[in-house]
Structures are given as C-alpha cells and as structure tokens.
Structure 1
Amino acid sequence: MKLLGITSCPNGIAHTYMAAEKLSKTAAKLGVDMKVETQGTIGIENELTPEDIAAADGIIIAADKAVLNKERFKGKRVLETRVTSAIKNPEELIKQFETGEVPIYGEVEEATGDKKGTLKSIQEVKKERKSKQNPIYRHLMNGVSYMIPFVVIGGLLIAISLAIGGQPTPEGVKIPDGSFWKTVNDIGVAGFTFMIPILSGFIAVSIADRPGLVPGMVGGYIAANGSFYGSAAGAGFIGGIIAGFLAGYIAKFIKKLKVPSVIQPIMPILIIPIFSTLIVGLLFIFVLGTPIANLMEAMTSWLNSMQGASSIVLAMILGAMIAFDMGGPFNKVAFLFGASMIGQGNTFIMGSIAAAICVPPLGMGLATLLNKRKYEAEEQDAGKAALAMGLFGITEGAIPFAAKDPLRVIPSIIVGSMVAAVIAMESKVTDSVPHGGPIVAAFNAVGHVGMFFVALAVGTVVTAVLVNALKKEVPQD
C-alpha cells in the first residue's frame, strides 16, 4: 500500500513536523510506503507531485488549519483529522485505509439517491471528523498563522528604526523625515497595514477556498479603514475577524448555487469574487462597520478611564486581556490600546503590555522544562518552540497548550501576565514601540529595562509553577 500525508498546525512549527515524523516512522514499521508533505511557517516542503497522487491509495491530512490545494486529491480516499491525532494515533489512521473506512474526496457532493450506502458511510465519517475538530477555531487559526509574520516583521522594523534612528522630542521619540531609518520605519508600518486584510482573507480562504480570498481581504481592508463608514478608529481586529467569516460563508454559499454549465467556468474567477466582495463591502459600510467601530472605541475609552489612581487595576485588566485569547480579539484590543497611548505620549501602558505579551509562551515553555512528566513528548518540543516565540513577543506560542488543556492553562497564563503587567506598570516601565518581549528591549525601546526583565521573569515563573501545580502527570512514551 502507498499512502501520502499532509501535516499543518496553526503556528506551522513544532506539531507540523512532529506529525510528519510520526506518520513516516509508523508507516515504515507497518510496511507501508509513505510520503508526507509539510505545510509549515516556511512554506510547503516535500511537496506531493501529480505522479505521487496518481499512484497513491489514499491521503492522510492531519491539520488544524486550511490545507492548500486539496482539490488535487479529488477521487482519492482522503482522511482528514487533527494534527495531534497523527502524533498520538498514527497507526490507527493508517489502518483505516486497510479496512476501507475512508471516504473518497469529492464523493459527498456528487453522491445521489443511488449511492445511499456510500453516502451514509461518508456522513458518518464526516460526523466523526466534525466531533474532533472545531471549524471556527480552524478557520481563525488559518488567518492568524498567515498574519503572524506581518505582525512580527512590522513590529521589529518599527522597533529597529526607532531604536537606532529615533530622536527624543517633547512629543516622544521621532525619526527625522527623509532619513534612512524613516524609510525602514515606513516599511514596518506597511507590514502592519496588511495585518487585518491578511487575517480576514485567509479566514475566508479556510472556509471557501480560493474564491474567499478577494472578498476576505477587501472586507478586512474596509474593516481596518473607518473612513469607509465615518469612523476615525475603524473596526479593528474584531471587525477583521467578522469580515473574514462573513466573506468566507457568503463565497461558500454562492459557490454551491446551481448555475448553467456555460457560466460554471467563470464562477471561481469572476462571479463568486465580484458578488461576495460587493455583498461584504456593502454590509460592512452600511450595516456593520459603525457599530463594531463604536464597540472598539467604547472599549478603548473604558480602558483609558482606568488610568491614574486605578493603574494597578488597569494593568491587571490589560494583562488578563493579553493572555486570555493569545493573539485573538481581546489580546488585540489591549494591544491596540497600548499602541494608541504611545501616540499620546503615554508609553507606560505599552510597557506593561510588553511584559505581559511574552509571559504565556515563556511560562509554558518553562513549565515543560521544570516538570517533563506532566507533558507528552510533543508538548515538550512545543515548549521549546514557545520559548523562542516568547523571546520575540509572540503570545501565540502558548496556543497549542491552551487548546489542549484550556481549563488549566488559560487561568495560569492569565495570572502570570497580570503579575508581569502590574510589576511593569508600578515600576514605570515604558515601551516606545508597538511590540513586546525581550526583543524590544534588545533594540533599546524599553525604559527601566531592569524592572522590565524582573516583571517578565516573575510572571513567567508564576505561570510555570501554577500550571504545573494544576496539571496531572501523563504517561510517557
């Protein structure tokens, strides 16, 4: 038997390659010829060729986000599952092909009343698959995975340009117009400009495949630019997420409409993008944009009112928001609030956020080092990746742990981030760039850097100790 595989996790780092290794080794042990394509952060590796697909008896897709170009597998037996299933139960997945339990990709849509037996089998498999996967999470993580590089690159280029080319002024650190570092800063700002459209676009792609890309990105651009609906702030990340899901499901609905065969060839390149983009754009401009922007502004105003005597409470709220959804809407509202305060000359808010941002991944990474008996082998590897991501202020490094054990992990990282934020706030730590983590301090963008690292270290230890106290030991391989 010859099988193929594709592995892809939201962050495209640890789990993607662990799953590929597990599938390959298990297949070799069972005497099965297997080639695995990985779709990670650096792109597609070990790509499956048309010849590979033609010769294959089946394909295992172990992914927690949208997989690129699935249409190439039409007519082949395809088993879709979560990436953790390939890590934990690779032998069980492979053996399903021996028993004929795996449906043929594309047959669900083509099945008719004459194929009742086949249709029932496929429905049962799809029902089982859905019980193991959260499609909303998968679609959201697909957008986040493509957005993260824009966040990181944009933030670091801004940090570098301010640290090296910035000059102190009464209004804060500024870069002289016409200088080389002003150009670098502008490139970083351009990276940030793409964040929300990319997020929306690839949420829509996860739902509707390629026809969702244009309406998703256009909808995200409209969400981020309040000038379309008379708002100074725009609908922000919450609006971008809503635009992505809206675009994806509208495009998917149009894609399923029965149309004359003469129109079918132009549906994906003309009809679907035009109508879905127009519907999403008009809905956002005339119906959704203003209410969502008002909500964002209300949350920002509320956070702004917590300054002064309530600085400790404000720091606790910001720390909790940063950690709660690890790069999601709450995280981004707090982050954008801190970024907006920089423009108003208040860099203390961003200082507390900068410390809180990296605590979830650093805390979970440290936890795996302190007590390996409470983490499976793949979690220990994910912990090393989380440590690296934490150094660069990427909160999403904690997502694999939170997704697997939310009731223990999320409270632990929230408490740790709150502690770090409070220490940083009360120690007058500042951050002059919209980014966080030790990398920002390395570029001299942090004031009171000693207390910044104290806050970071204490928050990290609190998270690690708390989560290890809550978790139970797991059987080790």
Structure 2
Amino acid sequence: MKILAVTSCPTGIAHTYMAAEALEQAAQEKGYKIKTETRGSVGVENELTAEEIAAADAIVLAIDTAVPMERFEGKKLVTVGVADALQKSSELIDQALKAPAYSTGRNTDNKEADLKTKQSTERKGPYKHLMNGVSFMIPFVVAGGIAIALSFLIGGYIGFQEEGTLAAYLMGIGGTGGFGLMIPILAGYIAYSIADRPGLAVGMIGGSVATQINAGFLGAIIAGFMAGYVVEAMKKYIKLPKNLQGIMPVLIIPVFGSLIVGLSFFYIIGGPAAAINTAMNDFLTGMEGSSAAVLGLIIGLMMAFDMGGPLNKAAYAFGTGTLVAGTGSAVMAAVMAAGMVPPIGLALATFVFKNKFTAAERESGKSALVLGISFITEGAIPFAAADPVRVIPSIMAGAGVTGALSMIFNATLSVPHGGIFVFFAVENLGMYLVSILVGSLVSAALVGFLKKPVETVQSLKAAQ
C-alpha cells in the first residue's frame, strides 16, 4: 500500500512535524510505504508530486490550515486536525483506505461521496479559517515585534522618535512594516481559507480598512470572514458568459467584493467593532490585582490543556491580538510564560523523580527542556499521551499559576514568540522568570507526587 499524507498546524513549528512522524511510524508498522508533505513555518517540504498522488492508495490530511485540494480529485482521502494524527495515526490510515473518493465539486457523479468528504473537510469550519489567518500573520508579528524590541534596546523608549537613527529605522521596519501588515494579512488569509485565491485581495483590503478605523484584531477577523463569504457568494451567483469568465477573479470579484466589505465597514460595522476593540484594550490595560490574576489563570489553563490544540491556539491568538506597535502586552507575556511551563516542568520532573520515568522518557526530558525554553508547548505531548490522567492536570496547575503570577507582576512582552531568545523584549524580567520557575516547580512536584514508580506500573501490568 502507498499512503500519502499532508500535515499543517497553525504555527507550523511543532505539531506539523510531530504529526508527520506519528503517521510515518504508524504506516511503517503496517508495512505500508508513506510520504508526508509538511507545510510548516519554513514552507512546503517534501511536496507531493502529481505522479505520487496518482499512484497513491489513500491520502491522510492532518491539517488545521488551508491546503491546495484540487490535486486530490478522485483519491480516497480523510481530513482531520493535526492533534488527531498524534492520537490515532494508525486508525486514520485505515479510515483513509476505506474513505470515499474526494471531489472538488466539478465531478458530481458521486454526490454521496462528495457530501461525506465535504463534511469531513469542513468539520473544523470557522476555527480552521481563523487559524489559517493566524498562521500567515505570525511571521509578520514576530519579525515586527523583534524589530520594535531592538529599536527600544538601542534607542530606549523615545529614541525611535529621532529621525535618521538606527532606532527609528528599526521602528519603521517593525511598527509600520511588520505590525502595519499584521491586520490585513490576518483578514486576507482568513478569506483565502474560505474562498481560495479570489478571497485574498478582498480580505486584505477589508483588513486595511479595519486598520484605518482602529477596529484592530476584532475588525480583521470580521473583515476576513465577511470577505470570504462575500466572495463565495459572488462565485456562486454571478454567472458570466464563457468568453467573459476570465474577468471574474481579476475585475468583478476584487472590485465589487472590496466595495461591499469596505463600505460595510465604513458605514455599518466599523464603528461598533472599533468601540469594542478600544474597550477591550482599555479593559486589559487597566486590569490589576485579582482580576488580572484570574485572566492569567485562565490563559495558563488554556495553554496547557491541549498543548498546541484548539484551546492553546485560541489563547495564543488572543495574546497576539493584544500586541500593539511600540507597546508591550501583559496578556502576551502571560501566554508565553504559561506555554513554556508544561515541557519545562516535565523536564524537571524527569531529572528529580527518575524512578517515575522510563529511560526513554528521561531522555525525552532533555528535548522537552529545550522545547520549553523555546516556547514550544508541544514538547509536553509525549508525556501527556503516555499518562494523561496524571500529567495534564499537573501541567495545567503549573501553567495556571505562572499565568496568574505573570499578570500580577505586570510583566509585559512586545513579541509573540521566541522563549528565552526574546527575553530582552520583556519588561519586569526578574519577576517574569520567577513566575515561570514557580509554575514549572509546581508542575514537576505534582507529576512526581501523582505518578507511580516505573517498577510498580510494570508489576501491575504483568499481574493483569
């Protein structure tokens, strides 16, 4: 059997490659040949060729973002999120071999198979569209945020105002460049996920309008979804003669779609969206004491619960939405700190409570530490998969404590990723480190307390 797979998570950092590894291992155990295309942060790797697709017996798509689908026309195919590929990779391969042939809708001979495949592909719906926008937005936010942080590092918090200086140029790259494009990119690629290429221009223009009226992150999301569904409706209901169909994607859709979305924002949607965005930012800025602690606690629990899954990515997207050019975010700081805790806490546990872990797990602890300090929460997944009942509550507790402490200490962060490599962009760094250390110790202690020694577990299994 020849199996093909495509994996793609919103950030393209860890889940993409872990899902690929899980599918490859499951296929090898079954004696099947497999090739996996990964669509990660460095781009498309190991891309599937037309010849390989034609020769494949089945295809598994473990994706949380939009990928080109037309190439799979007529092939047995199953579509799930990347988290499913980690948890049940063997079952997915079996399902793919029994799946109906995929149809893009051009061939309507098998309506039942088309319906089943469409339901499978769209199961994640709005979440997948949102995460597609977030995945394309993140590099702009990271590049912009680090450039802004370097501007502050070199020129201080007012140095960028002096024209012609390095600090001013860095602020131009980060603020006007990276952060200036953040909202249009988010809106554009949400629309792209919904309506494919014709939605991109309409979504980006809608996002630009959202920026002009200060509707921010919320406005970008509204503009992206509105643009996507407006373009879909135009594709469905506007029918031109065949000799004029070529002008649809280059004239009719971008012009009329942009006018519909843009004018809707200026006259109807923009005012309320901007008011909500401003109120939310004012509320977050003014949070302190117990209210800040509660928010940090919730953020921490979400970051640790599924370690890169929907709740984790929802908290991360919320954090990036609070970033503003030239201003650090307490919420983003809490998100990153809480996301670092699960793998760091588990790594500490493997060092301190060696009798509670196998030799392979102790070795994995070294990798988990590196991933944790780099803010890759997915480093905790192997431990959680092996013992979810004990591990997940432990890392949630530690991450929740860290999130709450980070907010209480009013630590702020001006970049959305990087772990220890961007600590120069943290305000109140000393207490920020304390919050991460305390949460990691809490998680490590709970794991050590709850887990049974390896010998005891092996004895119980042998007795059964």
Q: Fold-level match, TM-score > 0.5?
A: yes
Cα deviation, 1:410-449, whole Å, max 9, x if unaligned, reads 7764443112221x24xxx677x566854444x3x55654
Distance 2:344 2:140 in 1: 27
Distance 1:91 1:241 in 2: 36
CA shift for structure 1 position 12 = 1.2
Equivalent residue, structure 2, for 1:326? 315
Structure 1 residue aligned with 2:258:
277
Deviation at 1:320, TM superposition (A): 5.1
2:103 corresponds to which residue? 105
Q: Once the 2 structures are TM-superposed, how far is the Cα of residue 305 of structure 1 from its aligned partner?
A: 5.1
- Give the CA deviation at 1:291: 0.5
Judge conservation of contact 2:342–2:377 (CA < 8 Å) in 1.
no
Call closer, same or farther: CA 1:94–1:184 in 2, change over 3 Å: same
Match of 2:197 in 1: 210
| AA in 1 matched with 2:225 | F
Deviations 1:68-118 (A, max 9, x none): x2222223333222223333333333334544x322322x5532xxx5xx4
User: Given that residues 167 and 176 in structure 1 are in contact (C-alpha distance below 8 angstroms), is that contact kept between their aligned partners in structure 2?
Assistant: no
Q: Secondary structure at the match of 1:454?
A: helix
Cα separation, partners in 2 of 1:55 and 1:289, compared to 1, 3 Å: same
Q: Which residue in the other structure is 1:312 paired with?
A: 289
Q: Report if the CA contact (8 A) 1:142-1:203 is conserved.
A: yes
1:85 counterpart SS class: helix
How far did 1:282 drift?
1.3
Amino acid across the alignment from 2:165: S
User: Is the Cα contact below 8 Å between 2:346 and 2:443 reproduced in 1?
Assistant: no
Aligned partner letter, 1:247: A
Distance 1:145 1:32, change over 3 A: same
Match of 2:271 among 276, 281, 290: 290
Partner of 1:157: 147
In structure 1, distance between residues paired with 2:29 and 2:321: 49
Compared CA separation, residues 163 and 290, structure 1 to 2 (3 A):
same
Question: Do 1:74 and 1:105's aligned partners in 2 also have CA atoms closer than 8 Å?
Answer: yes
CA separation of 1:321/1:153 partners in 2, compared to 1, >3 Å: closer, same or farther? farther
Moved more, 7-16 or 85-94: 85-94
* Displacement of 1:214: 0.8
C-alpha distance in 2 between matches for 1:283 and 1:357: 34
1:356 aligns with 2:334: yes
Question: How far apart are the structure 1 equivalents of 2:443 and 2:66?
Answer: 31
Give TM-score scaled by structure 1 length: 0.75
1:197–1:322 CA distance, 2 compared to 1 (3 A)? farther
Code of the residue aligned with 1:93 in structure 2: it is L
**Partner in structure 2 of residue 244 of structure 1:** 224
Tell me, in whole angstroms, the C-alpha distance in 1 between the residues paired with 2:231 and 2:25: 40
Correspondence for 1:65: 65
Aligned positions of 1:52-451 closer than 5 A: 52-67=52-67, 69-96=68-95, 98-99=97-98, 101-106=99-104, 108=105, 110-111=107-108, 115=109, 118-127=110-119, 133-164=123-154, 166-167=155-156, 172=158, 174=160, 176-189=162-175, 190-226=177-213, 234-257=214-237, 259=239, 260-303=241-284, 311-313=288-290, 315-316=292-293, 319=296, 323=300, 325-329=314-318, 331-332=319-320, 334-336=322-324, 342=327, 350=328, 352-353=330-331, 355-369=333-347, 387-390=372-375, 413-422=399-408, 424-425=409-410, 438-441=420-423, 443=424, 449-451=429-431
Supply the distance in 1 between the matched residues of 2:116 and 2:342 (Cα, whole angstroms): 37
Asked if 2 retains the 8 angstrom alpha-carbon contact of 1:296 and 1:333, the reply is no
Equivalent in the alignment of 2:305: none
Cα distance, 1:453 vs structure 2 = 2.0
TM-score (norm 2): 0.77
Between 1:139-148 and 1:274-283, the stretch displaced more is 274-283
Q: 1:27 offset after TM fit, Å?
A: 3.2
Consecutive unaligned residues of structure 1, counting only runs of 5 or more, are: 227-233, 343-349
Residues in 2 aligned to 1:395 and 1:27: alpha-carbon distance in whole angstroms: 26
Q: Deviations over 1:355-374 (max 9, x none)?
A: 42322211122244356889
Residue 231 of structure 1: aligned partner? none
Q: CA deviation at 1:23?
A: 2.9
Aligned to 1:11: 11
Q: Whole-Å Cα distance in 2 between the matches of residues 334 and 39 of structure 1?
A: 27
CA-CA distance at 1:147 after TM superposition: 1.2
User: Once the two structures are aligned, what percentage of the paired residues are identical?
Assistant: 41
Take 1:396 and 1:243, find their aligned partners in 2: how far apart are those partners? 31
Q: Could you tell me how far 1:196 is from its partner in structure 2?
A: 1.1
Q: State the distance in 1 between where 2:297 and 2:178 align.
A: 27
Name the Cα RMSD after superposition.
4.1
1:199: how far off?
A: 1.1
Pair 1:297–1:321, CA change in 2 (3 A)? farther
The answer (yes or no) to whether the contact 2:343–2:372 under 8 Å persists in 1 is yes
Give SS of 1:59's match: strand
User: Shift of the alpha carbon at 1:321?
Assistant: 7.2
Question: Which secondary structure state, in structure 2, belongs to the residue aligned with residue 36 of structure 1?
Answer: strand
1:102–1:125 CA contact under 8 A, matched in 2? yes
